[in-house]
Structure 1
């Protein structure tokens, strides 16, 4: 029987760069301000063979791969965080006056996104059974810098979760629950 006590709501926190115990690395980031929530979805692709006798109707489905997507917007405009996950972002500190800082984002192609383990946690919840650990995540980054009377600046975060070939089990995409549980 279903348990209504297991219906959850509330905002989430995204941490990128956590170790195999779920602890944030020294160069990890926390994004704990969101607008519109954090959405995690998976997409599985399939090969569906047909036969001449069944026409275009497949006779079975074979999974060919699964990836995950994490999407949210944050009003946290801390570009220091962006330089950690976006290889096109750099911080420039003035040589004469170190209080003068700028962040530059280039638009050149060919730079690979760094990948790290991430976790989505419900705000204020310390029960790891409610966490979603994503084994290998690259963060895609865009700015939504609308200067408006009734809205604020936002960064759009669209992260991709990839199957990890280094994880156990091989190809691990995500873990729902306590990452420290062992068999």
Structure 2
């Protein structure tokens, strides 16, 4: 019976490469269980968990019978007093902080855009749901400030990513100049 390429010899030849890969990661000081998706997803999952807790707090605060945050037992007194003094504007920092974990967990621009849109819709739905709370009322300014907070967080995350990319490019440019003086720089030098 002739041996096929998909026989046991092909499986045996694949096994050493797996051992070499594990050995290479062990030698680099990275445990094998930390390689791949598990290691990359843990911070993102933690960020999303923090964001979900923030969404739960937002739902609780929006559907209370009073809009006064100084009466919330678990909120620091200074934060509650500041929020009550600043009225509608308090939605800007609140939605900025609420958006950051979700936007930081998103790996690509498209996912961050959809996350920002979902958070803007979430803020609008929460405000519109106040129509059904007896003492509360819907105000378009609250929706506008919540959208501004989401937009500010998205802009800050994108600006931070752009700055980080520029710094990495400059660092690589410096390293390439040190290793090969005849190589053209990756980033054009500024003229003074």
Query: TM-score of the superposition, structure 1-length normalised?
Result: 0.25
Q: Select the structure that is richer in strand.
A: 1
Query: TM-score of the superposition, structure 2-length normalised?
Result: 0.24
The higher-RCO structure (CA 8 Å, 6+ apart) is 1
